[in-house]
Amino acid sequence: MGPTLRSMFEQTVAKYADKEGLVDLRLGTRWTYGEWDQEVNRTANALKASGVEKGDKVSTVLFNTAEYATVLFACMKIGAVFNPVNFRLMEKEIEFILKDADPKVVVFEKATAAQIAPVAKEMTSIEFWSIDEENLPYAMNYYERTDGVTTERPVCELDENDPYAIMYTSGTTGLPKGVIHTHRDMVDQALIMTACLRLTENDRGLTVAPIFHCAELHCAFFPRVMIGATNVLLHHFDAPEVIGTVREEQITSFFAAPTMWNMMLQEEFAKEDFQTLRQGLYGGAPMAPALTMKLHDALGVQLLQAYGMTEMGPAITALTEEEQVTKAGSAGRALLNHEVRVVRTNEHGPAEPEEICKPHELGEIIVRGPSMMKGYYNRPEATEEAMYKGWYHTGDIGSFDEDGYLWVSDRVKDMIISGGENIYSREVEDALYEHPAVMDAAVVGEPDDLWGERVVAYIVKKESGVTEQELDEFCTSGNRLARYKRPRRYEFVDELPRNASGKLQKFKLRERSKTLSE
């Protein structure tokens, strides 16, 4: 019998029972690994008392809380399948996921109650547990359900190939799909990332990105648990609070999406605030090279990038600290035991894995590795298409350079074709990020009668004075962009539509541009 996430957690508890394991700043809770394990056992037995058996699903609609971390490992103790739901989704989207996943129990909090209430009243076969002290007619109280329950370790036969979670994709292109990961998938991912991040039991990690998302959970949280490091939870991201917490809790490592790093740069801080921080991990979305340089200069922090997607665990490549300047803009090289290829695209179906592109030739990125999903829940046709011939087809366009570094140019669906020329939105966005007045940027194509599509840029400004003409001149100066690639229209907005993991929801911008052009 191979390793499981339950055995991973329990091995850490055995080695570091008296070491600080979980800190929830919202609750003021500080648990040793031994104390945390007792709470996990208590919650696992409470779930069993509510009829949750091996293979049943348990959903959470929670921010970064101790209850989330406890329910997570409680599911592993009894072989239940964990289903973390994006807390930013609206009620109809949550209803879609719960109907698809069919959980026995849903755990939520006051901050998500508005979305949960109408769903709970409709889905009466599910037990809803609230972690807050609210007397809700449609929900039970989490602490009332767990109070007085035994802390004995529950008995359950668990195999490394048993499903550990169903994680719904972030839906940047439409309705989310449930990604099935097994215990062994995530033990391998945690082991790879522990080595990649060079974590030790002396590290103190901070969770600020949404822990429901696999980037934080699998690339940062699980590796810290595996090695016996301390985990500090912030309920949600707040740039000034993150800076203060890094200083006060002596944080050594944390993950944040590029947008979060950018927001921290806008705050007042001293390098001394980050003196214990030896490493920052980013991913979930590309980071413009200009932003990478600003972070390196301003914070004095070593950055490491992970590139991937939910279906792959998520990480498949990494760009190390030493490569952030010499290979700025690259996604790095393949992680241990991962195979990554760039293959020629196929207009009539999935790309063929053997149609390998030459260095600098653009094609679709495909990958296989130990943390690849087992498939999409209830979606056999989508599974077959995505995992064609045993390779996960990412839908990303990219290329390798002569040194074997991967460069991600765009999503296949985000590529703009104007006058027969392929324009990659990332290239245009990177150019815009170099302008000192640009805080955030997104580029999409909109219909054009003459050219087929034209480039449109959505800009969040740092300074109110910047104009469309100024940005247009900037893009075509200094050999930044060929003239045909430059945006033909600019729209200045207060913010860009992003999901909770920091990914741009470009389909919303395309819909907006299409409406404006009609």
What DSSP letter does each residue of 331-357 carry, written as one string?
-BEEPTT-EEEEE---TTSSPPTT-BP
Please say whether the beta carbons of 365 and 383 come within 8 A.
Answer: no
Rounded distance, CA 282 to CA 259, Å?
Answer: 10
pLDDT, residue 174, reads 58
SS3 110: helix
CATH 3.40.50.12780 residue window(s) in the chain: 5-400
CATH 3.30.300.30 residue window(s) in the chain: 418-517
For residue 314, cis peptide bond before it (omega within 30 degrees of 0): yes
Does the structure show a pLDDT above 80 at 501? no
Does the structure show a pLDDT above 80 at 419? no
Q: Does domain 5-400 have CATH number 3.40.50.12780?
A: yes
pLDDT, residue 518, reads 60
H-state helical runs in 268-326 = 289-299, 323-326
Q: How confident is the model at residue 179 (pLDDT cuts 50, 70, 90)?
A: very high
What is the maximum span of the chain, computed from C-alpha positions, in angstroms? Answer: 71
Mean pLDDT along residues 288-313:
87
Share of the chain above pLDDT 70, in %: 97
Q: How confident is the model at residue 268 (pLDDT cuts 50, 70, 90)?
A: confident
The b/e string for 368-388 (b: 16+ C-beta within 10 A; e otherwise) is bbbbbbebbbebeeebeebbb
Q: Which of 346, 330, 387, 342 is nearest to 366 (CA)?
A: 342
The lowest-confidence range among 128-137, 140-149, 247-256 is 128-137
Two structure tokens written together for 27: 């609750």
Does the structure show a pLDDT above 60 at 13? yes
Q: Write down the mean pLDDT value for the chain.
A: 92
pLDDT, residue 33, reads 98
Q: Which CATH class is domain 418-517?
A: alpha beta
Please say whether the beta carbons of 404 and 128 come within 8 A.
Answer: no
Does the structure show a pLDDT above 70 at 114? yes
Does the structure show a pLDDT above 70 at 171? no
Q: How confident is the model at residue 298 (pLDDT cuts 50, 70, 90)?
A: confident
pLDDT, residue 329, reads 84
Q: How confident is the model at residue 478 (pLDDT cuts 50, 70, 90)?
A: confident
pLDDT, residue 122, reads 94
Two structure tokens written together for 516: 């404006």
Does the structure show a pLDDT above 80 at 515? no
Q: How confident is the model at residue 495 (pLDDT cuts 50, 70, 90)?
A: very high
Task: Output the pTM of the full model.
Answer: 0.86
pLDDT, residue 198, reads 95
Does the structure show a pLDDT above 60 at 173? no
Rounded distance, CA 77 to CA 41, Å?
Answer: 7
Does the structure show a pLDDT above 90 at 451? no
